[in-house]
A and B are shown apart, each in its own frame.
Chain A
Amino acid sequence: MGYLNGFGVVIKKWIGVKSATGARITTQYPEETRPKPERFHGRHVLNRYEDGMEKCIGCELCAGVCPAKCIYVRGQDNDPENPTSPGERFGFVYEINYLRCIHCDLCVEACPTEAITETKLFEFAFTNRADAIYTKDELLVDDSGHPQQLPWENWSGGFDPAQDSSGWMRATAPSGDADFVGIVAWAGELGYGVRDPQRASIEVESGPVPAGAHHDDAAQDHGEHGDADHADPTEPESTEPESTPATKTPGHFDSAADLPEKKRRFGK
């Protein structure tokens, strides 16, 4: 009677609308919102330092790594009298085309200065193609580190920087703490609501891993100079020293001991 049991289940749901088995799980979206996942990828922001300087150095790594080719960057030398960013150059043009962006977060990984990060804002339906291209003016956070709300964006859920900033950073990013290289961790951004880097929730067998002991594909692909310890983000990237020779050979494991470590982290 297997088939008829199936009918029984459905009918029970139907007439048992108010019971526990019939409880409705729908979220009435515009009125109710569900909490966003911790690692949600939404629209980007361009961050500033606490002193108001822009973090972007116009290096175009984000544009280079973008698989959707949606980022357009042009750098320019800073005016020595009135610099836009600390260091030599700054992002003069910065555009993201959200008709193309797939929110993969590779730009965030590539960024040597944490200038570009993703918020969890996703309700930005636009009605013309011009609006789809977010310019630097629109992406840049204000002086308090708060993203700008554009006219077509729906922020009805409010914006809580601690919740809505992505807070998601791979320690493989050059600016990550060297102690955490190769380990997934969290970092703060947007200038405030900063959280200290935390241990990943994934179990690591041998506690904190020393710098250079493990190599991530991401580190090798996107940040060849990546393992620099606490590089000052204002420094031009090319001046950063290489940490270990091993990072130069992409996709190569130093020792057999690395392999099970990697498998343990990604095999699940």
Chain B
Amino acid sequence: MTSTLQSHVIAGMLANDPLLSGEVGLTTLLVVLIKVVVAFVGLLLSVILMVWFERKVIADMQNRFGPNRAGPFGLFQTIADGMKLIFKEDLMPARADPFVFKLAPFLSLIPAFLTFAIVPIAGSFNDGLDGVVTILGQQTFMQVADPQIGILLFLAMSSLAVYGIMLAGWASGSKYPLLGSVRATAQMVSYEAALGLALASVLLIAGSLSTNAIVNGQAGFRWNVWMTGLVPFVIFTIAATAELNRPPFDLVEAEQELVGGFHTEYSSFRFAMFFLAEFLNTVTMSAIIVTLFFGGPSGPTFGLTNWVGVYILPFFWFFLKLLVFLSMFVLFRATLPRFRYDQVMDLGWKLLIPASLGWFLLLVAVRVGSDQGWNLVATVLAAVAGLLAGAFLLILSIRASASKRAAVSLPGEGT
């Protein structure tokens, strides 16, 4: 009795997935195993292709060829680089903390893998299918797991990844990695706030944390990108770029200032793990953006309910959307120069966090207004007036503190 109750509770915590709602048999395990293996291998492959894609595209943008020696169109370049890294000498500084030094790359890599587990990559969301597919006679979703905490797992994992970077810098026993990791930690922690607030707008519209439910709510082009009014998407994208430490927010790895950043002392396979985690995060973050704002794998299936309509077309839509965002990150890298550290912090704390909070409050006002049957226009006007007042006070306080700081001249500084 207790055991069945426990298993129900555990199953409920783990997933809304119909796969785990009934009896857990051998085929269920097999299906889970297949999904895990496919996701793992697919993710590794996608990283290999992403590195190649980024280098090729950025070469196009800079009038170069990019990798074109290893394999057709240089496709095997990443594999060659990986082989090289594996065969390199594995160094550890004498003053490093051995255990933490070895632990850090895993703390960086594993969350990157885990996050992708909640991303639905296929399954038809039309015709009332709700993304359910049938594998080996078992009904399931096309994602490794669909826990009830859903998108919170993503936030938790991106917070965990900060530990990898922080501990890597700290355990290296060397000054540049330490400075790099301090920067990285400060940056990632600050942008996580903006990221979470932008995400809250989506959750408000979707009414669920489950990624499957979020995607399902967006079927038929009711994409969150316009359902939430574009602002959360823009903020989320900027915050995600900062969270990924990608250009123009890559000052964690600012070579001019910090040598290699937090992974300066890493070499060989441990460095490869950081490198892998970085690109894994890029792919995963693009997938999360697609899931949250662009309806994931949902798209026209032309009434097909066979394997083409359930697997091929949704995956095609998902891949297409993913590609757009991967290209966007490459475009950012090719175009934008790196921010200065104080600029990054200014942008995060003084603009993105207040803006995302304000927009969230506006959406809340609209939501509450529609629930209570208030006049929509009046509600929006009142909310906007309140937010403008808040923005005014914020600007005033920032100016006041800036002028106060300017009044205090530091020793060695001119008046």
Interface residues of A (CB under 8 A from B): 3, 6-7, 9-11, 13-14, 17, 22-26, 28
Q: Is the CB of B64 within 8 A of A10?
A: no
Kindly identify which residue among B57, B64, B335 contacts A26, using a CB–CB cutoff of 8 Å. Answer: B64
Q: Which residues 47-98 in B have Cβ within 8 Å of A in the complex? A: 57, 60-65
- Encoded as 1 (CB less than 8 Å from any A CB) or 0, chain B from 2 to 44 comes to 0000000000000000000000000000000000000000000
Is there an interface contact between A10 and B331, defined as CB atoms closer than 8 Å? yes
| Cross-chain contact A7 with B64 (CB below 8 angstroms) | no
For A9, A10, A17, A24, which residue has the most chain B Cβ atoms within 10 angstroms? Answer: A10
Contact between B60 and A17 (Cβ–Cβ < 8 Å)?
Answer: yes
Indicate whether B377 reaches chain A with its CB closer than 8 angstroms: no
Q: Judge whether B334 is part of the interface by a CB distance below 8 angstroms.
A: yes
CB distance from A173 to the nearest CB of B (A): 40
User: Is B336 positioned at the interface, with any CB of A under 8 Å from its CB?
Assistant: yes
By a CB distance below 8 angstroms, the chain B residues around A26 are 63-65
Given A6-B335, A6-B336, A7-B335, are A14 and B61 neighbors across the interface (CB < 8 Å)? yes
Residues of the B chain whose Cβ atoms lie less than 8 Å from the Cβ of A17: 60
Contact A10 B61 (CB under 8 A): yes
CA distance A17 to B62 in the complex (A): 10
Q: How far is the CA of A13 from the CA of B330 in the complex (A)?
A: 13
- Asked if B334 contacts A10 (CB within 8 A), the reply is yes
Nearest Cβ on chain A to B254's Cβ, whole angstroms: 20
17 example contacts (A-B, Cβ-Cβ < 8 A) are as follows A7-B331, A10-B61, A10-B331, A10-B334, A11-B331, A13-B61, A13-B63, A14-B57, A14-B331, A17-B60, A23-B63, A24-B63, A24-B64, A25-B64, A26-B63, A26-B64, A26-B65
B335–A22 touching, CB < 8 Å: no
B interface: dominant SS: helix
Of A11, A23, A26, A28, most B-chain CB atoms within 10 Å? A26
**A-B CB proximity, top 3 nearest:** A10-B335, A14-B61, A26-B65
Q: A23 to chain B: which residues have CB within 8 Å?
A: 63
Inter-chain CA distance A17–B57, complex, in Å, is 11
**How far apart are the CA atoms of A22 and B335 in the complex, in Å?**
15
Q: How far is the CA of A197 from the CA of B234 in the complex (A)?
A: 66
Q: Give the number of residues in B that approach A within 8 Å (Cβ atoms).
A: 11
Across-interface contacts of A6 in B (CB, < 8 A)? 335-336
Residues of B within 8 A of A (CB): 57, 60-65, 331, 334-336
Q: Which A residues lie within 8 Å of B334 (CB)?
A: 10, 14
With A and B bound together, what is the CA distance between A223 and B201 in angstroms?
A: 78
**B336 surroundings in chain A (CB, below 8 A):** 3, 6
**Are A24 and B65 also in contact (CB < 8 A) when A13-B60, A17-B60 are?**
yes
A2–B25 Cα distance when bound, in Å, is 60
Q: Using Cβ atoms and an 8 Å threshold, which residues of chain A touch B60?
A: 13-14, 17, 22
Distance between Cα atoms of A14 and B65 in the complex (Å): 12
B337: nearest residue on chain A (CB-CB)? A6
Least Cβ–Cβ distance between B63 and chain A, in angstroms: 5
Give the CA-CA distance A22 to B61 in the complex, in Å: 8
B residues less than 8 Å from A22 (CB atoms): 60, 63
**Once bound together, how far apart are the Cα atoms of A244 and B134, in whole Å?**
99
Taking the closest CB of chain A, its distance from the CB of B231, in whole angstroms, is: 18
Closest to B62 in A: A13
Complex CA gap A110/B63 in Å reads 43
With both chains docked as a complex, state the minimum distance between the C-beta of B396 and any C-beta of chain A, in angstroms.
27
Candidate in A3, A24, A25 with the most chain B CB atoms within 10 angstroms: A24
* Shortest distance between the CB of B348 and any CB in chain A (Å): 18
Q: How far is the CB of A9 from chain B (nearest CB, A)?
A: 8
Can you add 5 more A-B contacts, CB < 8 Å, to A14-B57, A26-B63?
A10-B61, A10-B335, A13-B62, A17-B60, A25-B63
* Residues of chain B with a CB closer than 8 A to A24's CB: 63-65
Q: Which residues of B contact A3 (CB under 8 A)?
A: 336
A121: shortest Cβ distance to chain B, in Å? 24
What's the nearest-Cβ distance from chain B to residue A114, in Å? 41
Give the CA-CA distance A7 to B63 in the complex, in Å.
Answer: 15
CA distance A7 to B336 in the complex (A): 8
Name the distance in Å between B406's Cβ and chain A's nearest Cβ: 27
A10 to chain B, nearest CB (A): 5
Find chain A residues with CB under 8 A from B335 CB: 6-7, 9-10
Which residues of the partner chain A approach B65 to less than 8 Å between Cβ atoms? 24, 26, 28
Q: Which A residues are in CB contact (< 8 Å) with B62?
A: 13
* Separation of A6 and B334 alpha carbons in the complex (Å): 10
The residue in chain B whose Cβ has the minimal distance to the Cβ of A13 is B61
CA distance A217 to B335 in the complex (A): 46
The residues of B that contact A11 with a CB separation of less than 8 Å are 331
A143 nearest CB across to chain B (Å) = 40
Bound-state CA distance A26–B67 (Å) is 11
Cα separation A22 to B57 with both chains bound (whole Å):
12
Between A9, A11, A14, A17, the greatest number of chain B beta carbons within 10 A of the residue's beta carbon is seen for A14
Interfacial chain B residues near A14, Cβ < 8 Å: 57, 60-61, 331, 334
CA distance A3 to B331 in the complex (A): 12
- Bound together, the chains give a CA A10 to CA B58 distance in angstroms of 9
B144 to chain A, nearest CB (A): 34
